Amino acid sequence: MSDIAVILPDGSELSVPADATVEDAAYEIGPGLGKDTVAGVVDGELVDKAAPLHDGARLEIVTDQSEEYLDVLRHSAAHVFAQALQRLHPGAKLAIGPPTDDGFYYDVTGVDLDESDFPEIESEMEDIVEADYPIERLEVPREEALESFEDNRFKREILEEEAAGEDPVSFYEQDDWRDLCKGPHVESTGEIGAVKLMSISSAYWRGDEDNDQLTRVYGTAFESEAELTEFLELREEAAERDHRKIGQEMELFSIDETTGPGLPLYHPNGKRILDELADYAKSLNLEAGYDPVETPHLFRTELWKKSGHYDNYVDDMFLLDVNDEEYGLKPMNCPGHATIFDDHSWSYRDLPVRYFEDGKVYRKEQRGELSGLSRVWAFTIDDGHLFVRPDQIEAEINLIIENILTVFETFDLSAHVALATRPEKSVGSDEIWEQAESQLRDVLDSQGMDYDLEPGDGAFYGPKIDFSFEDALGRKWDGPTVQLDFNMPERFELSYTGEDNEDHRPVMIHRALYGSYERFFMVLIEHFDGKFPFWLAPEQVRILPISDENLGYAHRTKNALDDFRVEVEDRDMTIGRKIRAAHDDRVPYMVIVGGDEEEAETISVRDRFENEVNDVDPSEFREHLEAERAEKRVEPDFVDAE
């Protein structure tokens, strides 16, 4: 049997037997690594250490020191929960129980649960952890597996769909309990240092409202109690920063069920911030050579059939019948931009052609998936589409990445990068997809960027580079993307005249700097805890007269700052209460004026950190604000400058 070659994280190749597993490869690297192997990451997918390898596989060995180890441990914690539940409630039926970004969940039925049941279940889970049962992988004949789930239609459906054709199938066993599962898992239940059940909700089987409603129990797990305590403290802080809570406090947005779910209404304060974000994105686009375009909110579905969206997105589209013709609210802006490009004749000298649009799009998400601004029915993408020659791809993507990283830097957000490859539902040939994925990988490698692989997470028309934001609490959120598309130009028969005077097909690049305004706004609200940078703040300066006698001077001071968003606090309150109110409203700067300031024609400036400087020349303060706005500084720093 001939050997195969697998690619290690440093780019080197390792030769292993054709039937080698992840664990076998680890032992080839070294006996110590082989012994410590918990799981593997093969082509970006977390797998059991017994998973087979294939020629050309990208392999990363997972040990208890790896970032992925926590996912493995939490997967095992989900099994501990399920075992504890069935010990206490033998009639409970299990559906699925995967790890998540901050813990795990398990969907169950056949048992009535609420959070008052958590202490009893947690106590049983702790007994299972303390018993330190080995977690062993079993190969079970398919017919035996089907018989064991005779009264569990969810597990049978998994066997008939996700595990179709597999024989035997894998189970994991601890003590006298076992579950159908692909893994991976830790070696024993005792490796779970701390567990806690967090919340309970309802969920539909496979996320489909037409399917059975299940009970979903969320939990989390860590290697130690100290890590769990830190997580719970962070979670408490995250609840205080919840964008829905802050959005209401600052009157930024609302979502009213009477107007429709997932349809945010932006109040004046929120709209001011969105306008600033749009102006910033526009400036970056214009500087990078993009031309603005605008497309309508709906098109005949003939356009969506031509683009491929109808076949791949019809279940998520809002469709309308107009005079016996079918129309659809647009789920994406790209077909409109492709149509604009197709309305012209282009030479190779004209390319690249770059369009941008803040385009409102509509996607019919499941009602249960809607959540604040993070998942909505109507949202705005700061969309850009480029039509380029093949020889321009690398240069254009490098420029796009440069602009995206500029956005991250401006808002003091850390970036995480991933390459998302071909999904199951897709259009285009294998050759086109391989070419597109290879070119994106080459760009990332040439920039020396660290990136993860996300198999199957690409768009249906092409692979993409995904950027996620890491906020002040260390949480990651989906962000902008760069997508390479050889398929839509083919479907729209787009062309340009080449240097050889023949027609050639351009390559289409989809990109966004924010991702969507809604998701990005949500991230900023929680990242800054509502304390927006001066240039973004809906109210930038509040003038606080010490008494009504100083109201005239307060308004004259406001007029001197007429380029900024300034309010005068004229309510009948003490100066102490006025300061507290401005602080609670998260205003970057307070200007205090009393008799002494009016007589000297000066002001006292106080920032939201409770720092204050007196005897300030108003013109000096104005000049500082102009600089702070122009440079888009993250924190107010006038007092520091003084």
* CA pseudo-torsion sign 121, 127, 130, 136: negative
DSSP 8-state symbol, 193? -
How far apart are alpha carbons 71 and 67 in whole angstroms? Answer: 8
Nearest residue to 195 via CA among 227, 238, 239, 173: 227
- Residues 407, 536 contacting (CB under 8 angstroms): no
How far apart are alpha carbons 490 and 505 in whole angstroms? Answer: 7
Q: Which residues contact 477 (CB under 8 A, 6 or more apart)?
A: 374, 468, 469, 471, 519, 522, 523
Q: Which residues contact 289 (CB under 8 A, 6 or more apart)?
A: 352, 354
How far apart are alpha carbons 556 and 560 in whole angstroms? Answer: 6
Nearest residue to 380 via CA among 458, 316, 297: 297
How far apart are alpha carbons 64 and 72 in whole angstroms? Answer: 9
The β-bridge relationship of strands 541-545 and 589-593 is parallel
Instruction: For residue 443, give the amino acid letter.
Output: V
**H-helix segments, 66-106:** 69-88
DSSP 133-157: -B-EEEEE-HHHHHHHTTT-HHHHH
Token output for 114: 């609420």
Distance of alpha carbon 52 from the chain centroid: 31
Token output for 566: 């300034």
How far apart are alpha carbons 11 and 59 in whole angstroms? Answer: 10
* CA pseudo-torsion sign 500, 335, 418, 469: positive
Q: Is 510 annotated as a binding residue?
A: yes
Token output for 233: 């403290």
List strand residue ranges (DSSP E) for 330-487, in order: 353-362, 378-388, 414-420, 452-454, 464-470, 476-485
Nearest residue to 343 via CA among 509, 486, 484, 495: 495
Task: Calculate ∠ Cα 506-512-513, nearest 5°.
Answer: 135
Nearest residue to 203 via CA among 85, 121, 106: 106
DSSP 279-334: HHHHHHHHHTT-EE----SEEEHHHHHHHTHHHHHGGGS-EEEETTEEEEE-S-SH
393-410 vs 430-446: helix crossing angle, rounded to 10: 50
List strand residue ranges (DSSP E) for 390-502, in order: 414-420, 452-454, 464-470, 476-485, 496-497
Q: Is 504 annotated as a binding residue?
A: no
**How many distinct helices (H) and strands (E) make up the chain?**
21, 33
Sequence ranges of the binding site for Zn(2+) = 334, 385, 510
**Feature table: binding site:** 334, 385, 510
